Structure 1
Amino acid sequence: MPTPRTTFLSVFAASLADRLPGTWTSEYHRHAAYKDQFPAVERLWGLGHVDHIVSQQVLGHDAVLNGPHGQQLYVADRPRYRRQFVVAPLEPEGFTPDQVSVVREPNGIAVPDDPVRAAAAVVRRLLPRYQHALAAVRNNARPLPSPVRRCAPPAGHGHREGHLAPGRNLHHPGRRPARRGPQRLVRLRLPGLPARQHPPPAGHP
């Protein structure tokens, strides 16, 4: 028959789930042997005091709260603190260790045995960093965008019509470029020298 503490944990977990934002449900588990609590211990997301408690103490029971978007919270007794429980996030399932291990662990917290005060502490202190960590894991799981491949243009079509490549000759081979207009020969006169006398045109008197 369940002990009063066992009953209290199951009732507390259910009451806590009812007060969290969104839709949360509670699953209570009683462990017949110490090894039965290991599956949840291995998924604890953090190395704080909650991990120490769960890995070093024989708890006998625990509860898992299942929330929206794959959120899961672990709830257990806090030994030597009869008026407190511990609540800790669980690592998300379906991701590789490389996608999870690079994210900062959200860790768990200790809460009072009053479901109203406990829910307020979870909403204020735990859920924001837990949801931030979940978003980071999902972002790590997104496939990287494929690099843009640039194909070389076909021969003779490397430039748009009316545009030429730099350095391209504008004239046909073997054809001299057209003159752009009459060119005048400028003669320079040096100081001290007499101006050169041009012969008069033929037939001039």
Structure 2
Amino acid sequence: MPTSSTEITLSTSRALGLVAIASGENYERANQALEASGFSRLRNGAYTASLTDAQAARDTASALVHRAHEHGATLVTSPRPYLGDIGIEIAARLPGTWSAELEIYSHPLWQDDLWYGLWEAGEIHQALEDHRIPYASVLKNGTGTELLLVERPGHRSGYLLGALTDHEKEDVRDDPATPRTMVLPADPGLAAHLVTHTFLPAYRRALHHRDLNTVLSALERIRGEHQTLKAIKDSGRYSDAAPLGDSRLIAGMERDFADHAWLEFRHVLEHAPRLLSRCRPAATAWPDDGAALTRLREALAHSQDTWDEWNGLRRELYSVPRTLPAHEWSQVRGQMGLAVLPAIETWLADSEAFERQVRAAVPGGPAALSAPSPRLLTARTVPPPAPRAAAVHR
């Protein structure tokens, strides 16, 4: 990503008047120029000056030219309206209740915060690599959906829309479930229509496939360890054919398996209920899968108390992993794994029916004709995404 010089980008807003946003490594000096010129700072880090009094507006603009030169900042006049307004206008036209907030990434390094949350592999992904993106509008619906709206680099009009997520993800360039960038027109009404009827349905399908892949990957990892443990127990020997020699070793291996299995089965407990709720076996080519889905739902119900206990621990004792010795924390997880072991075995046994039905239940298409997406059963290590910091507060 190229590092630009210190700039002050000017745009207009019907409600705010003249809006100025500073960016670059010396953005603080640009902010000082704006304050010395009579601009007022907004909560999000942008600066404004009223345009209602023509003479006062000219005086402010003249002062800014001189102050910017003194502080080494370049003035850039945007051909677009203030992005904060555009985000709000689009959000107001989307189905449900949406809000929009402008985020400012004044220092070039702050733009990197977006990498952790961006679930996108198209043009907006490339824009972050090749251009400075000093600000963006984040659209939220209050139920977990977050969209990133930026001005389209290299064009005098139009916008790019991508999806954000706090979910651990594969490399977005390799993940077939990754949503794609949508290019939006300058008109907020037309843009909102495209978001409603094209982007959001595609986004819901991407979420569906992502959640399915998460569950399948977790089950695959459990299955591998479960098969290894079963082979050792049946043969009385390690995988290298050496005899166990002590039955207590089996108990220890079972506890270790339960610990690891719980860490994976949490993904099933989190995502599978929503996926199962969309399944309609009678509408597919495999109506007999209904019995398997019933068993899977019952297994989830029998795991609910343990799942509630786990979430209670997370809420009330968030620091447990740091305060308990590692072996004691492992025992806590192992106990939960043992408690849900029957449910885990049910899910391993009926996972094929689950996969068939969930692939057939992709949102937005006829169940019986739904095309499967590629399976993602890799176990690549992915670092947990860091929370996207609000750059304007830095």
Q: TM-score range by the shorter chain?
A: 0.5 to 0.7
Structure 1: give runs of 5+ residues left out of the alignment.
149-205
Q: What whole-Å deviation, never above 9, does each CA across 1:133-176 have from its counterpart, x for those lacking one?
A: 2233345332385225xxxxxxxxxxxxxxxxxxxxxxxxxxxx
CA distance in 1, matches of 2:152, 2:109: 18
The amino acid across from 1:52 in the alignment is: Q
Matching residue within 136, 143, 159 for 1:62: 136
Aligned to 2:147: 73
CA distance in 2, matches of 1:80, 1:137: 32
SS, match of residue 70 in structure 1? coil
- The count of residues paired between Structure 1 and Structure 2 equals 145
Contact 1:31 1:37 (8 Å CA) reproduced:
yes
Aligned to 1:22: 96
Q: CA 1:96–1:52 in 2, change beyond 3 Å: closer, same or farther? A: closer
Matching residue within 263, 268, 271 for 1:142: 268
The alpha-carbon deviation at position 104 of structure 1 amounts to: 0.9
The alpha-carbon deviation at position 41 of structure 1 amounts to: 3.1
The alpha-carbon deviation at position 61 of structure 1 amounts to: 0.8
CA distance in 2, matches of 1:112, 1:10: 16
CA distance in 2, matches of 1:7, 1:34: 23
1:33 and 2:107 correspond: yes
The alpha-carbon deviation at position 128 of structure 1 amounts to: 0.6
The alpha-carbon deviation at position 68 of structure 1 amounts to: 4.0
SS, match of residue 97 in structure 1? coil
CA distance in 2, matches of 1:42, 1:51: 12
Aligned to 2:280: none
The alpha-carbon deviation at position 102 of structure 1 amounts to: 5.6
The alpha-carbon deviation at position 131 of structure 1 amounts to: 1.2
Q: CA 1:78–1:138 in 2, change beyond 3 Å: closer, same or farther? A: same
CA distance in 2, matches of 1:115, 1:48: 22
RMSD: 2.4
The alpha-carbon deviation at position 8 of structure 1 amounts to: 1.7
The alpha-carbon deviation at position 97 of structure 1 amounts to: 3.5
Q: CA 1:29–1:7 in 2, change beyond 3 Å: closer, same or farther? A: farther
Question: Mapping of 1:91-130 within 5 angstroms?
Answer: 91=165, 93=166, 95-97=167-169, 104-130=177-203
Q: What whole-Å deviation, never above 9, does each CA across 1:71-101 have from its counterpart, x for those lacking one?
A: 000011111211101111112x2x4436x98
The amino acid across from 1:13 in the alignment is: G
CA distance in 2, matches of 1:97, 1:30: 25
Give percent identity, aligned residues only. 23
Structure 1 stretches of 4+ moved >4 Å: 100-103
Contact 1:22 1:68 (8 Å CA) reproduced:
no
What TM-score, normalized by structure 2, do the two folds share? 0.34
The alpha-carbon deviation at position 42 of structure 1 amounts to: 3.1
Contact 1:76 1:86 (8 Å CA) reproduced:
yes
Higher share of residues assigned helix: 2
The amino acid across from 1:33 in the alignment is: H
What TM-score, normalized by structure 1, do the two folds share? 0.63
1:132 and 2:258 correspond: no
Contact 2:121 2:179 (8 Å CA) reproduced:
no
The alpha-carbon deviation at position 112 of structure 1 amounts to: 0.7
Q: CA 1:104–1:33 in 2, change beyond 3 Å: closer, same or farther? A: same
Q: What whole-Å deviation, never above 9, does each CA across 1:167-200 have from its counterpart, x for those lacking one?
A: xxxxxxxxxxxxxxxxxxxxxxxxxxxxxxxxxx
1:3 and 2:1 correspond: no
